[in-house]
Amino acid sequence: MKNRLLWPLIALAALLVLNLVVTPSFFALRMQDGHLYGGLVDVLKNGAPTLLIALGMTLVIATRGIDLSVGAVAAIAGAVTCVHIGSSGDAGTAFVGMAIALVLCAVLGLWNGFLVAGLGIQPIIATLVLMTAGRGVAMLVTEGQIITVNNDPYRQVGAGFVVLPISILIALAVLGLVAFTTRKTALGMLIESVGVNPEASRLAGVKSKTIIWTVYVFAAVCAGIAGLMISSNVSAADANNAGLWIEMDAILAVVIGGTSLAGGRYSLTGTLLGALIIQTLTTTVYTIGVAPEVTLVFKAIVVIAVCLVQAPKARAALSFRKVAVS
């Protein structure tokens, strides 16, 4: 386990050192009006939605699935909440709006779970349906407009502070919750067993289908919360661009963290590290003054490198060479 997390840790450390070299004040933290500011806090704050979605994605991937629809679901969550809030400024409306959005996300998760566990469609394809149609639905909700709201309680979710930014606290709370429920109970092991072999697990008495439904619902709700953060941070819902490509970032974070795409094992700490690496990478690209769009090239290189390191065939080739040398 430690060995598996070594490389992500080294990568993260290297990125942080690079930032320190470019901007010496990167690690400086300062308190202002009871709020904590600084480069590291920014990384955490901007990485919170990715971390949340990656947490949901970790469990989905552990069952040998994948959820491509999370970006669209995030856009729907933001759109529904902002439309419900409208021009209202009071807290009640904001909370009702968020509750409606999250319930809706859970329903969308049920839908994905139904396609995968109920109909037995390959996860990539099953969630592709919602990925395509979901943005259309979000556009339908906002009627193609970017909806702006002016609601202070809602703004707190993505931009508020309780010493640390609230979005970080939410993401960490969800991380803690997942870690507790899956690692302190048998749930995590059951999820892994479904990932290794759903049929064998079913025969062994594990409710495979229920577990698959559950992880897709959880992933969708995580995506919903992330969507709320993204939309609340800018006090607007943009059906087209909110959460665009975030599913790719989330998958990347999970893979970097050492969770195998073949399912059967997962590491929440790894996912946390993966999400931090991605956000730090993005920040680094900004600070060293390369056009932000070029981040995609770096991400591509990271994906390929990580996959090659994970691939049994590549490992075999490497260890063979080591044996030959020694």
Partner 1 sequence: MTALAQRVPSRFLPVLATVILFVLAFGVGSVRYDGFASGQVIANLFIDNAFLIVLAAGMTFVILSGGIDLSVGSVVALSTMVTAAGLRAGWPVPLVIIAVLLIGSTLGLLMGLVIHKFDIQPFIVTLAGMFLARGLCFLISVESVSIKDTTFRDVATAVIELPGGVTITYNVIIALLVVLAALYVLHRTRFGRTVYAVGGNEQSALLMGLKTSRAKVGVYVISGFCSSLAGLLFSLYMLSGYGLHAVGMELDAIAAVVIGGTLLAGGVGYVLGGLVGVLVLGTIQTLISFQGTLSSWWTKIVIGVLLLVFIAVQRTMMRGRFRSLA
CB of 226 to partner 1, least distance (A): 20
Select 132 or 185, whichever has its Cβ closest to partner 1. 132
Select 112 or 182, whichever has its Cβ closest to partner 1. 112
Both structure tokens of 157: 């979710």
What lies within 8 Å, CB to CB, of 219 at 6+ separation is 53, 56, 57, 59, 60, 67, 70, 109, 112
CB of 125 to partner 1, least distance (A): 5
Select 103 or 314, whichever has its Cβ closest to partner 1. 314
Select 108 or 190, whichever has its Cβ closest to partner 1. 108
Select 36 or 121, whichever has its Cβ closest to partner 1. 121
CB of 282 to partner 1, least distance (A): 13
How many CA atoms does the CB half-sphere of 233 hold within 13 Å? 20
What lies within 8 Å, CB to CB, of 206 at 6+ separation is 190, 193, 194
CB of 303 to partner 1, least distance (A): 4
Select 180 or 245, whichever has its Cβ closest to partner 1. 245
CB of 262 to partner 1, least distance (A): 8
Select 84 or 135, whichever has its Cβ closest to partner 1. 135
CB of 301 to partner 1, least distance (A): 8
Select 45 or 299, whichever has its Cβ closest to partner 1. 299
Three-state SS across the chain? CHHHHHHHHHHHHHHHHHHHHHCHHHHCEEEECCEEEEHHHHHHHHHHHHHHHHHHHHHHHHCCCCCCCHHHHHHHHHHHHHHHHCCCCCHHHHHHHHHHHHHHHHHHHHHHHHHHHHCCCCHHHHHHHHHHHHHHHHHHHHCCCCEECCCHHHHHHHHCEECEEHHHHHHHHHHHHHHHHHHCCCHHHHHHHHHHCHHHHHHCCCCHHHHHHHHHHHHHHHHHHHHHHHHHHHCEECCCCCCCCHHHHHHHHHHHCCCCCCCCCCCHHHHHHHHHHHHHHHHHHHHCCCCHHHHHHHHHHHHHHHHHHHCHHHHHHHHHHHHHHC
Select 26 or 111, whichever has its Cβ closest to partner 1. 111
CB of 312 to partner 1, least distance (A): 7
CB of 152 to partner 1, least distance (A): 31
CB of 256 to partner 1, least distance (A): 12
Both structure tokens of 245: 């490509």
| Binding positions for partner 1, rule: CB under 8 A | 66, 115, 119-122, 124-126, 128-137, 139-140, 143-144, 239, 248, 251, 255, 261, 291, 293-301, 303-304, 307-308, 311-314
Cβ contact 302:37 at 8 Å: no
